[in-house]
Chain A
Amino acid sequence: MVEREEILRLEGITKLFFNICALKNVTFTLKKGEILSLIGENGAGKSTMMNIIGGVIQPEEGSMTLHGKLYTPQRTIDAKNAGIAFIHQELNLFNNLSIIDNIYINSFARYPGTPFIKKSAMRENIRKLLDSIDLHVSPDMMVEKLSPGERQLVEIAKALSGNPDIIIFDEPTTSLTTRETRKLFALIKKLREQGKSIIYISHILADVYELSDQIVVLRDGVVVDTGKKEDFSMNRMIVSMVGRDIKQMYPAERPVAQAKKLLEIENLSQPGIIKNISMHVDAGEIVGIFGLMGSGRSELANIIFGLDPYSEGMIRYMDVKLNKQDPIDRIKRGFAFVTENRREEGLLMEFPVYDNITLAVLRDYKKAFGLVDNAKLQKPVAETVSELRIKCSAIKKNQVKGLSGGNQQKVVLCKWLLAKPSFLMVDEPTRGIDVGSKSEIYNILNNFAKAGMGTLVISSELEELIGICNRILVLSKGEIVGSFNSNNFDREVILGAAFRQNISNGSTNIV
């Protein structure tokens, strides 16, 4: 094969966030007309990488070369002008506008000298563009009437309208059906034939295997493995991605499950969200639920906590059947729930730490006339705050939004531990927080379970589940597809279970 022309080269890129290395000495080369896949776990530095190429942030060290010339984007528009287009995981479309409006939103053709939009000029271009990506709908179609896959294509058309040389796809298949995924892959390959270079970011390894010419594996901000697709086995990808020794992060001893069922779920279903979920959590046990994005893991948590409805099945707690949508009743029975997104669903950001941690227990500290019994709260609050080692000088004064991510997460945990729950659910408990706080949170969960409570940990980070759980259930497309005990935890097997679901649905024939 003829050696292809080099188009983008990254050399020694290093990026620090507050003295923590997000990327370290990253070097790779993208050639013309090739698909380069960038894989890695959450927090491996994939997004930071893309933000640097896209000019959103600038690296501390290292250089980028585009078409043989030094490339130093300062703003996102620089990347666009240099011929680099992004397809983000979350689509950036205006659903209430037409395809034309979306594609030309910042470059409308106008009747000369007037502010009026000249649609006719754009319509022809768009039609050609849509034809080229096999999307046969009218340019005037409203985006809200399109399926997720078609919307993705509109996003691609929007990217292509700038005639880029490099197109970067960030997890493009998460919201697509198998058929739409097939179509997308055909299109990506077609773009490669046209000489475009593509960076494809994903953690769905089967997809990566099908598409790539070259694979780059990122882990903890470092390129740990790179090579031609032909040289990679599925196994090598997984091992490179997750293989690391961080045992000291996790508590030395796992809790021991008691023979007492706390939570029992039978055949729980909600159309389009979860299907036939049966599971249980025993006292003193940490159960993990592992799933990729879109597997329904957070939705399941919301249903268990009574925030969202379900159509069939039942939830029992300590042998009592629970009401459908009644979080208050759950809390009274000893449930606690640390949500996935602490800013949006966990905290009152503008309020002091004290107001946040007392919110769930106010009911239990009631004086005459419905007054809050602050005196009685004093002791348990002080105890729990110091137990969790929340770093905050004045909990009645300092707003939560001024705290670090790790401390914020501890505030959420503190809120619930103050309620003395018997069953704790945590959804992505360590997302976006530093390593030290992570370790502390694992210990908190461990101690909680050791005190005989039940714990359910929902996470997309397999590492942490393997590190702290007694059992791991694997969720995929709303169904439990695997269950593993701590004596036979094996990263590759568990990942395989989560991925195999995708494979068996036909996205590839390689296993």
Chain B
Amino acid sequence: MTLLTLKGRGMANKFFVKLLVSEYFVIVLSIVYFLIISIFVPSMLSGNNIKNIFSNMWPLFAVAIGQTFVLLLGGIDLSQTSTMALTSVIGALLISSRMNPDVLSNSPLWGVIISENGGPLGKAPIVLSVSITIAVMILVGTLVGAINGTLISKVNMPPFMVTLIAQMFYSAIAIYLTKSQNVIGLPDAFCAIGGKSFGFIPYSFFITIILGVIAHFLLSKTIRGRWIYATGSNIKAARVSGVPTISTTIFVYAASGFFAAVGGVLYTGRLMAGRPTLGDGQLMDILGATVIGGTSMTGGKGKVSWTLFGVLFYTIITTSLSQLKLDSFVINVVKGLVILGAVTLDVARTRIQQKGTLSANAKSGKKVTLNG
């Protein structure tokens, strides 16, 4: 599909091009896909399934918001999954009220801070224990991110390597702390945050939507947000213009860790256990959903709302594939193709937009000089 043929064919194509470059393209695509697949798989429309989609997408959205921050900077955070695992394990070890010695007595923390009576907050008043646990989880996640950001901006290491190493490192710590065992015995109040609903609407919806709105405003309306876009678009120009690129980078990776920790809280609640392998294999979901939304991997382009659309689309695809009762590897093949399609689409959209800029320029009679 070349641009020339797109240009040459009447109204239908014009509409298609407009839709393609629209920022609501993905949500339109989601609805169209949902309706079409419902014809073949009627169970997609069942209340249970819709509820499923609606509760599955929020923890993923929380983590993907963090990834959006990082991609906006032109970076990548591969350590989000192990940040989720680490915070999950730490939170569970703190708040669990009963632990099975057969399972956990090999943990290096057994007898130090955890025992058959659970973790240090296991017997504390519930409001206190839940709030402290969540605070610690969030703090750990943010700290992990801030360390990544510091290594990337101050020591000038490539984000890919820093976060890849962090992924391995923190995942190993999570496994070491629990000797690869799940930590159960979490209080209901804690699990409710990630697992329970208010009527039809899961609590996780309220949490992530509020955070999403804050993140959206942070990026679009605040000075720090402008700095993030500027740094991601052209770090040299940003630096010359007095943008504190180092602190901005640290902020962004800390935000990524923060949102990974939020994901950790929600997933831990849903699973009702602290899991050292939490997030394993989920990296592709996080990156995929964010990129499908339209956030560019080269930095400077993206929005939290786009990521929400991307997460919705991705969750619908995933749910529909499991409704089709396909094998997990077939599901992965299809997911891979969808992400590939999204990246291809992004390239096509950018090209159409560039053409748009040039022709708009030609129309207004401005000269496009070769030199500048």
**B239/A307 in contact, CB under 8 A:** yes
**B233/A348 in contact, CB under 8 A:** yes
**CA A355 to CA B371, docked complex, whole Å:** 23
**B222/A372 in contact, CB under 8 A:** yes
**CA A404 to CA B221, docked complex, whole Å:** 29
Tell me the smallest distance from the CB of A459 to a CB of chain B, in Å. 15
Contact of A348 among B300, B366, B368, B370 (CB under 8 A): B300
Which A residues touch B238, using CB under 8 A? Answer: 348, 359
**B357/A402 in contact, CB under 8 A:** yes
Task: Determine if B22 is an interface residue (Cβ-Cβ < 8 Å).
Answer: no
Number of A-B contacts (CB under 8 A): 114
Instruction: Return the chain A residue nearest B356 by Cβ.
Output: A402
**CA A362 to CA B361, docked complex, whole Å:** 28
Q: How many residues of B contact A (CB 8 A)?
A: 34
Task: Determine if B179 is an interface residue (Cβ-Cβ < 8 Å).
Answer: no
Tell me the smallest distance from the CB of A313 to a CB of chain B, in Å. 22
Which A residues touch B242, using CB under 8 A? Answer: 327-328, 331-332, 359-360, 363
Which A residues touch B369, using CB under 8 A? Answer: 17-18, 404-405, 432-434
**CA A358 to CA B230, docked complex, whole Å:** 11
**B367/A355 in contact, CB under 8 A:** no
Interface string of B219-262 (1 = CB under 8 A from A): 00111101101100110111111111000000000000000000
| Range of interface residues on A (Cβ < 8 Å) | 35 or more
Known A328-B244, A401-B357, A434-B369; judge A351-B222 contact (CB<8 A).
no
Contact of B368 among A344, A358, A404, A433 (CB under 8 A): A404
Contact of B239 among A327, A366, A399, A403 (CB under 8 A): A327
**CA A348 to CA B366, docked complex, whole Å:** 20
**B237/A344 in contact, CB under 8 A:** yes
**A350/B233 in contact, CB under 8 A:** yes
Which A residues touch B217, using CB under 8 A? Answer: 371
Which B residues touch A17, using CB under 8 A? Answer: 369-370
**B240/A405 in contact, CB under 8 A:** no
Which A residues touch B241, using CB under 8 A? Answer: 331, 359-360, 415
**CA A343 to CA B372, docked complex, whole Å:** 8
**A391/B366 in contact, CB under 8 A:** yes
Tell me the smallest distance from the CB of A472 to a CB of chain B, in Å. 25
**B234/A339 in contact, CB under 8 A:** no
Task: Determine if A342 is an interface residue (Cβ-Cβ < 8 Å).
Answer: yes
**CA A232 to CA B252, docked complex, whole Å:** 63
Task: Determine if B301 is an interface residue (Cβ-Cβ < 8 Å).
Answer: yes
Task: Determine if B340 is an interface residue (Cβ-Cβ < 8 Å).
Answer: no
Interface string of A15-31 (1 = CB under 8 A from B): 00110000000000000
**CA A171 to CA B229, docked complex, whole Å:** 39
Which A residues touch B2, using CB under 8 A? Answer: none
**A359/B372 in contact, CB under 8 A:** no
Which A residues touch B367, using CB under 8 A? Answer: 18, 404, 434
Instruction: Return the chain A residue nearest B243 by Cβ.
Output: A359
**A432/B372 in contact, CB under 8 A:** yes
Task: Determine if A191 is an interface residue (Cβ-Cβ < 8 Å).
Answer: no
Could you list 27 A-B pairs, sorted by A, with CB under 8 Å? A17-B370, A305-B240, A327-B239, A328-B242, A328-B244, A342-B372, A344-B236, A345-B240, A350-B301, A351-B229, A351-B233, A355-B229, A358-B226, A362-B226, A366-B223, A371-B217, A371-B221, A371-B223, A372-B223, A391-B366, A404-B368, A405-B369, A409-B372, A415-B241, A432-B371, A432-B372, A434-B369
A-to-B contact residues, CB < 8 Å: 17-18, 305, 307, 327-328, 331-332, 337, 339, 342-351, 355, 358-360, 362-363, 366, 369-372, 391, 393, 398-399, 401-409, 415, 431-434
| 8 shortest interchain CB distances as A-B pairs | A405-B372, A432-B372, A432-B371, A331-B242, A348-B233, A402-B357, A370-B222, A360-B241
